[in-house]
Each structure stands twice: as C-alpha cells, then as structure tokens.
Structure 1
Amino acid sequence: MKLITKFVLLYLVVTIIVLGIGGFVSYHIIKGELDNELKWRFLDRVERVTYLLEQGKNFESPVQDNDDTNLKIVALPNRVEPNVEIRDTLVWHDRLQQMEHNLKLVAHRNVDGTSYRITTYGALVESDDITEAVIQILLWILGLQVIGAVGVGFIVSNRLFKPFRKTLERIKNFRLQDKNPITAEETSVAEFDDLNKFVEQMTSKAITDYKNLKEFAENASHELQTPLSIIKGKLELLTETDLSPEQYQLVEDSQRSVKKLSRLSESLALLTKIENHEFTGTEEVNLSELIKDSIQSFDEFITLNGLTVEADVEDDVFVHMHPVLADILWTNLFQNAIKHNVEEGNIDISLNSQRLRISNTGNPLSSTPEELFRRFKKDNVNSKSIGLGLAIIKRIADQYHYTISYTCEDGWHTVTINLQN
C-alpha cells in the first residue's frame, strides 16, 4: 500500500471518529437549545394562565391550547409554595405510533388563596427529526471530506511526493558497476533535501568501498598466482631430482596443496565478481548445445572414472544469461557430479524448457543438502573439493532468480534448477 493511500485512509478514519463525536455533541446542543426555547414558551404560558386565573377565568381540565401544546390545570386542596419543575417525559405519538421524548413543565401558583398545578408538555421538534438532520449534515460533511481527502491525496501524490518518487526511482536504477553516485537534487521540502543528501553520501561511500574491495580481490588473486606458479614450477623441478620415496610423497602433497590453493584463489575471485554483478550483459544462450558439447569435452575424464552418463536433453532450450555464467553454472554442476560420484557410478542429465536436473550416484550425506550451498561447506572434510562449487552455482541461480534444490534419495544426489523465474 502506498504512503499517500495510508495517509488518506488514516485521515478518513480520524474524520469519521471526529464526526461521530461531533454528531453526538451537536445532537445534544441542538436539543438543548430547542428545550430552552420550549421552556421559555412554557413559562410564558404559565404566566399567561396565572394572569387569566387572577382575572377570574375558569378553565376546564385538560385544556388544549391553540399552539398544539398540551395544558392541564388542576386546583389543589392544600396550599403549596409557588415553584417550577422541568423534566423530560415520554408521550405516545399517534402519528408515529411510538413513544416520543417531550419536555414537561409542572408549575404551582397561588391565586386568591387557591393553589393550582399547571402542567404542560410538548416538543418543538421530534427527537428522530433531530437525529435525522444531524446524520444528514454529517454525511454531507463526510462526503465533502472524502472528496477533499482524495483530491488532496492526488495533488500530494503527484506534486509534493514527486521528488521522493524520483529519488526512489534513481535508487532502484543505481548500480555499483556504473561507479556513478546519486547526486543530490534540491527540492522545496527540507526532508526530501536531507534524504537526497544522505543518499548521495551513502552511494558515494558504497562506490568507494566497492572499488577498494574489487581492487583488493583482483590484486590478491593476481599476486597469489605468481608465487603459486613459481612454487609449482620449483616442485616440478624437484620431482626430476633423485628423491627418496618419502621425499617424493612430500613433494606430491605440496603440489596438491598448491593446486588447491590456486583453485581456491580463482574460485573466490570468480565468486566475488558474480556477487558484484560484474557479468551484467545477457544473451540467449543455447543451453542444450552447451550441455552436449560439455559432455563430449569430458568424455575422456568420464571414461577414466568408469562413469556412465545418460542425457535426455531437449533441443534448443535457450536461457537469458551471460554466456560466461551459463558455462560456469553447467561446468560446476557437471564437475560436481563427476567428482562426488562412486566407482562405476552413473550420471543422469535431464533438460527441458522448464528445468535442468542432474543426478549422480554417491555416498549418503552426513549433513543437510541446504548446508552444501554455503561457502566452504563440504559433506566430507577429507574431500579434495574446496567447497565453493555449489556456492557458485547457487549465487548464479540467485542472480537470475532461478530456484535451485538439492535432494539425496536412494543413493542418488540430484540438483534441480527451475528455469522459469
């Protein structure tokens, strides 16, 4: 839900609450004013009736006056002190066929030694009419408030929030690889100016940190390769000399460690480039041809390991990826299936427009499949793997919003990538 929509809804909720309270107060104020007006009319009537009694006028009880206000005059056997009492009462209304609230006035007057009780009641406006009038007024006000709120919201959304939306759009399009910070633009709103300045500072810092980290990773990877190559060459020369079996074994172990360190350096550099989105271009890559060519390229290695490969590859399956990342994705999947297989094992490859699945026989897992997608996570700590293959595969899949899963059942390890993002 957009901010302006929440603001309008909150405004309308507050308006309804305020109008409800206002309606309640308005009803009682209007009713009070009407009752006061009616009270003064009743008092005037009492004074007029008292005057007529003093003039010798004889009233029959009850008396209906000409303004449709009920009047009742009763002579009392005992003398009472003059007083006036006003209260609410319920009176049956013939037209509405229900009890209605009326104002009732009871006054005692002494005329020529006789006490009289003068009673009158009535209502200027019926309570239901007051309620209906107040509700109609509130509905009109609410309707105008809704129109006003929507109108103000539209104006605010299109004009006042325009700089904010512009900044948000620039943030969405910001890419570290472009190495261009988001420059602050002045607006007529102080808060938006502060936001733009903050965004400029943060993007500038992010670009600087990115450059430093990228340079460090590239330099470290490059600088490591030189001494590693020297060590590798020296070890190869050393193997050509007269060495005892123990010395030769030590040299072989050193060579394996150097190769592993070299692969580790290259894999980390590759993973850093992927995470920094340095492979940005996309093309239509024929994944079917890529897999078929790869199987042929690894044919000798597959034969050497005594593996059987079965492939059900649908023709002309295209994916929108950077060609280098597509090659790395498949190569890591295929090499992983070969490395972690068993003797005389099997590899099953399936590809269609919906998914890519590769299965290989292997030893049971001692950890959960999900953990193997983490960096340096290996199921067997004694394995020659550096533990980055599946991490690289997972990172590439995430970059293109492909879902990836790893299952292990009945001696088969299966990696499935859903190509429909």
Structure 2
Amino acid sequence: MKLLNKISLWFIGVVLLITPISMYIGLLNIKKAMDQAEINRMTAANDQAAVLLKAGNTDSQFTQGRPILIRKINAPLPENRVQIEESYKHTDENGKKECLIRVNSYYQIAGQNYQISSYDYVTKADEILSGMLHSIFWKMLLVILSLLLCARILSRYIFTPFRHTMKAIKHFSIKEKTPLRLQHTNTKEFRELNIFLEKMTDKAIEDYTSVKEFSENASHELQTPLAVLRSKMELLTETRIDASQAGLIEEMYKAIDKLSLINRSLLFLTKLENHEFDTSELLDFRISCQEVLHTYEERTALKKLQVTTVFPDQVPLKIHPVLAEILLSNLFSNAIRHNNENGHIKISLTRDRLIMQNTGTPPAIPTEELFMRFKKGDQCNSGIGLGLSIVKQICQLHHFTVTYTYNKGWHTLSIYFNKHTENKEALPEKQEEDLHIPAAVS
C-alpha cells in the first residue's frame, strides 16, 4: 500500500473515532445552552410580570407573549427565589412527548407573597441529535472526498521528487559504475534522503570496484606461481626418479590442479554474487541438457552407468547460456562422481522443473549442508566441495528453487523453475561467450 494511502486511512480512522465523541460533547453543550437561554428568557419574563403586578395590572396579563401564572401564597418565601423544573409531557397539538421547562419565581409585593411561573416547550436532545447526524454525514463525506483529493495532489506534486528517487534507485546498477545523481528538491527530508543515497551508492561503487579488482588480481597472481610449480614438476619428471618419488610427484600434481580449480571456482562464485551474468534472452534448456550429457558420455561409459532421460520438445528458460552449461555440468559431474559402479542416473526435464537422480551411498552430512561451500558428502573423495554451492548460487540468481534429498539408495536433486518458464516467445540462437570459468566443480 502506498504511503499516502496509509496516511489517508489513518486520518480517516482518527476522524471516525473523534467525530462521535465531539458530536456527543457538542450535543450536550448545545442542549445546555438552549435550555439556559430559555430559562433566562422566562426568568426575565417573571421579573417583568412582577413589575407589572406592582404597577397594579391584573394577574391575567400576558407578558411578551408568554403564559404567566401568578398566584398568592401564604407560606414564607423559599430561600431559593428562582426554581427550575424540567419534565416531559405530551402536547395536545401533535400528541408527541415534549420537554417542558418551568421557571418559578417568588416575590413579595405590598406585603403579599407571590409565585410567578412561566413555562415553555424546548427542543429535545434526540431532535438535536438527528439534525447533527444529518450534518455530520455530509461533513464526513466532504472531509473524505477532500482528503482523497488532497492526497492525489500531494502525490502528484509534493511526492514527485521521491518518485524520481525511487525510479533512479530501481535502475541503478553497481556494475555500470555510474554514480547515482538524483533530482533536486526543496523538501528538506527528500533532500537529505537524496544526499544520503548518493553518498551510499558512491561508496558501494567504490567498494565493489575494489573487491572486484582484488579478486581478479588475486586470482591472476595465484595462477602464476601455480604455473611455475607445474612447469617445475614437469622438469622434475624428466630426471631420474624412483617409483616412490613418482607417486609423490603425482600427488603434488593433483594438489596443484585442485588448488587451481578452487581458485577459479571462488572467482566464479564472486562473479555470480556480483550479478555479472545478467540475461534477457530465452534459452532452450533441453538442448543444453543434451549437449552437456553428450560431453559426459565417456565418463558414464567408463563407470558403466545406465542413463535414462525424459525430455520434452522444448523448455524455454531465461538463463545465461554459460550459466546453464555450468549448472548442468556440475549436476552431471556430481551424479557420476558419487555413483556406484554399474549404477543408474535418471534425468527428468519439464517446463517446470529438472529432476536428477542417481544411485550412491548415503551422504555423511545432512543434505541441506551440501549446498554450503567446502561441504562434501564424502570427505575422502577428490572433490573440493564447491559444486553444489555454485549450483545453488546460479539458482538463486535466476530465482529457482533447488532441493536435495536421499532416500533408499537414490540421491535426488530437484530444481524448480519460476512460473514464467512457459513463455512461448521465439527462442534466440545460443551465443557462446569466452569466459574463464570452471567447466564443472565437485
């Protein structure tokens, strides 16, 4: 929900809460003021009747058009010379129950005590309430309409710089290394926000550039001593060595190759985390599966593995071609490496998911930990423990869901694509890119 809509709802809620309370208080004040005004008028009328009585007028005289009742009393005058009586009576005119207010005033005129009474019917509280409810309804309707109109005006004019800022942030890319420059605004809060965002993005670009250069330089510098070690090892093999020395040299070769693979894999993971493989093209994932599977035919034959595949006609998927190859290569390599002799591999591909199953021994650690870096199901194998970490990173980059389970001798790795994989747009031709990345990591 938009910010202005939330503010509008809160304001309307406060108005709806306060209005009944203020209306009740206003009703009481209006009723009290009306009654007091009527009492004051009747008190003044009684005083005028007393003045006329002193002047010798008859007690049947009406003063100011009001009914006046004048009677002699033999009892002493009460301490309170003005007494107010309020009651509800049915009137003869309309037969409805009306509020009657009577004012009794006491005087002593020419040694005789008199009671002069005036009365009148006043508007009832429910009638005032009915009128107030009618006016409140239109008032609330006017307030809500005015509020919605003001919110639209605020959104269009006052919040325009904020919308420009949000749009600029959405299109900001740290890889392009273009500083974020935002629209000038006279609003203090928006201006402070823009200054903070510009400083933050500038710092992010600077840090990204530094980390990227460091990782690339470190990878390049590590390759140089590894190449030197490999060449020295080759020279060493040309000298006279015995069998035990040859075994040691072979182990050193494997360690060097493994170190080189770790270096390239970590660099590749860094590129994935920095989103350097963005793509907006659709790829036929079925063709990628067939090509990678063809690449591993010799390895499956050496281990005497039986491969079963179920592929549809087309699987259009929005994924970088190189990343698709890396993803499938790691999956196939793991399925072969961690399989038994004369084992089985089952590959099922649909428009919604890819499921790869292979026979093998149970993993030594929980399957969810195998997606962590340098975690291996069998610590004795020659893998480096980065294969599934790369698989998970590629899936996260493309918003895929990946799961790994083991049940009754079968390893099952499932990748669920998003719902947009059924897009029927035309597939572009596959483009190859010359990137220095590992073909498969385990």
- TM-score, scaled to structure 1: 0.89
Deviation sequence 1:351-406 (CA, Å, 0-9, x none): 11121111111222343322222222223333322121111111111111112221
The alpha-carbon deviation at position 31 of structure 1 amounts to: 2.0
CA contact (8 A) 2:296 2:332 kept: no
CA distance in 2, matches of 1:343, 1:81: 120
Q: Deviations over 1:316-374 (max 9, x none)?
A: 22212111111111111111111122232211100111211111112223433222222
Query: Counterparts of 1:249-288 in structure 2 under 5 Å?
Result: 249-288=247-286
Tell me what 1:225 maps to: 223
Q: What is the match of residue 362 of structure 2?
A: 364
For structure 2, list consecutive stretches of 5 or more residues without a partner in the other structure.
Answer: 420-442
Q: Aligned to 1:289, which of 287, 295, 299? A: 287
Partner deviation per Cα, 1:25-66 (whole Å, 9 max, x = no partner): 33233223212220122112322443565547456xxx9999
Counterparts in 2 of 1:218 and 1:96: CA distance versus 1, 3 Å: farther
Match of 2:126 in 1: 128
* Change in CA separation of 1:387 and 1:58 when aligned onto 2, cut-off 3 Å: same
Between stretches 409-418 and 103-112, larger displacement belongs to: 103-112
Aligned residues: 417
Aligned to 2:33: 33
Cα distance, 1:164 vs structure 2: 0.5
Q: Distance in 1 between matches of 2:261 and 2:128?
A: 87
The answer as to whether partners of 2:315 and 2:351 remain within 8 angstroms in 1 is: yes
The change in CA–CA distance for 1:282 and 1:137 in structure 2 (over 3 A counts) is closer
Aligned counterpart in structure 2 of residue 149 of structure 1, from 147, 150, 161: 147
CA offsets per residue over residues 269-288 of structure 1, 9 Å max, x none?
A: 11111111111233322211
Letter in 2 for 1:142: M
2: CA distance, partners of 1:399 / 1:86: 87
Match of 2:432 in 1: none
For 1:164, the equivalent position in structure 2 comes to: 162
Task: Measure how far apart 1:414 and its partner are.
Answer: 1.1
Most deviating of 18-27 and 405-414: 18-27
**Residues 139-183 of structure 1: CA deviation (Å, up to 9, x unaligned):** 333222212211111011011111110110110111111110111
SS in 2 for 1:283: coil
Q: Which segment is superposed worse, 258-267 or 285-294?
A: 285-294
- 1:186 and 1:147 map into 2 onto residues whose CA distance is 32
Percentage identity across paired residues of the two chains? 35
Structure 1 stretch displaced more, 211-220 or 123-132: 123-132
Q: Which amino acid aligns with 2:202?
A: S
Q: Secondary structure at the match of 2:272?
A: helix
1:409 and 1:121, CA in 2 relative to 1: closer, same or farther beyond 3 A? Answer: farther
2:341 and 2:81 map into 1 onto residues whose CA distance is 114
2:326 equivalent among 325, 328, 331: 328
SS of the counterpart of 1:321?
coil
In the other structure, the counterpart of 2:80 is: 83
Note the C-alpha offset of 1:196. Answer: 1.6
CA distance in 1, matches of 2:85, 2:208: 81
Q: Mark the CA change 1:97 to 1:381 in structure 2 (over 3 Å): closer, same or farther.
A: farther
Distance 1:92 1:252 in 2: 117
Q: Which residue among 298, 303, 322 is the counterpart of 1:305?
A: 303
Within a 5 Å distance, the mapping from 1:381-392 to structure 2 comes to 381-392=379-390
- The equivalent of 2:137 in structure 1 is 139
Q: How far apart are the structure 2 equivalents of 1:86 and 1:23?
A: 30
Partner residue of 1:109? Answer: 107
Q: Match for 2:406: what amino acid?
A: C
Partner of 1:402: 400
AA aligned opposite 1:25? I
Q: Which amino acid aligns with 2:249?
A: V
CA 1:308–1:88: 2 relative to 1, 3 Å? farther
Partner of 2:423: none
Which residue identity lines up with residue 77 of structure 2 in the other structure? V
State the alpha-carbon separation in 2 of the partners of residues 131 and 171 from structure 1: 54
- Between stretches 118-127 and 355-364, larger displacement belongs to 118-127
CA pair 90-64 structure 1, distance change in 2 beyond 3 A:
farther
TM-score by length of 2: 0.85
Tell me the residue number matched to 2:434: none
Could you tell me whether the CA contact under 8 Å between 1:82 and 1:107 is conserved in 2?
no
How far apart are the structure 2 equivalents of 1:58 and 1:160? 74
**Counterpart in 2 of 1:23?**
23
- Answer yes or no: is 1:316 the counterpart of 2:335: no
Structure 1: runs of 5 or more not aligned? none
Q: Tell me, yes or no, if the aligned pair for 1:106 and 1:119 is still in contact at 8 Å.
A: yes
Letter of the 1:6 partner, please give it: K
Is 1:3 aligned to residue 3 of structure 2?
yes
Please tell me the root mean square deviation across aligned C-alpha atoms, in Å. Answer: 2.7
Question: Any conservation in 1 of the 2:354–2:416 contact (CA below 8 Å)?
Answer: yes
Q: Give the counterpart letter for 1:417 in structure 2.
A: I
Q: SS state of the match for residue 406, structure 2?
A: strand
Shift of 1:17: 3.9
| Distance in 2 separating the partners of 1:247 and 1:85 | 128
> 2:45 maps to what in 1?
45
Distance in 1 between residues matched to 2:89 and 2:367, nearest whole Å: 82
Aligned counterparts of 1:64 and 1:347: Cα–Cα separation in 2: 115
